Structure 1
Amino acid sequence: MDKKLALAALASLGQETRLDIFRLLVKAGAQGVPAGEIASRLGAVQNTTSAHLKILHHAGLVRAERDGRVVRYVADMTGFRDLLAYLMEDCCNGSPELCRPVIDAITCEC
């Protein structure tokens, strides 16, 4: 991940509704959540939710999957892991093995 994409990802998560959307999608796992359901679960306006999803998508944190007429959104865990790896790249004064417990804790089979 490069600096520009990391900044976009961090900026996208720095807004309350987008952070709520991302956390909802992480919790939903691989099955994701339909766009309209995201809005209703969060008590948000559907048009605004679509704009937030677009920002998260461009930041590499969510992906859209078409299921017939329904667009289902899923947290892009690869993008999220890439962001975390970028942030921890030079951790522990150049001794990344010291950060292994943190890296192991955030690694999942999703």
Structure 2
Amino acid sequence: MDETEKRVADRLAALGAPVRLRLIRLLVRAGDEGLTVGDLQRRLEMPASTHAHHLAALVRTGLVHQERRGREVFCRADFAAVRGLGEYLSDQCCADVGVSGRAPE
């Protein structure tokens, strides 16, 4: 497995938990400004420790970046990393599939 495959596999695994998928969706929709850790916790209505565990997995794989601004920690999606997952799947996994979604006969 090359480095690109490993990175993609790690990122897809991180998104495999429904709560992490919800986190990344919230952050993508928030745009470049992102959301504070507190905002994310309130929107997902989960305990801080559970939230921190899932957020750390997204940070560790490079899908989310955190930045301290004063007393708050802001989280934002890495749009290039998120977009890269879709591009990888399209380019590498669907290369031999026609527009119909079926493999050529």
Question: Which residue matches 1:83?
Answer: 85
Note the 1:1-110 alignment, pairs <5 A: 2-90=4-92, 91-93=94-96
- Give distance in 2, aligned partners of 1:59 and 1:44: 22
Q: Report the identity percentage.
A: 38
What is the aligned residue count? 96
Bigger-Rg structure (1/2): 2
**Counterpart amino acid of residue 32 in structure 1:** G
Coordinate RMSD, CA, aligned: 1.8
Q: Report the TM-score, using the length of structure 1 for normalisation.
A: 0.79
TM-score (normalised: structure 2): 0.82
Unaligned segments of structure 2, at least 5 residues = 100-105
In structure 1, the residue matched to 2:103 is none
What are structure 1's unaligned runs of at least 5 residues? 99-110
Structure number with higher helix proportion: 1
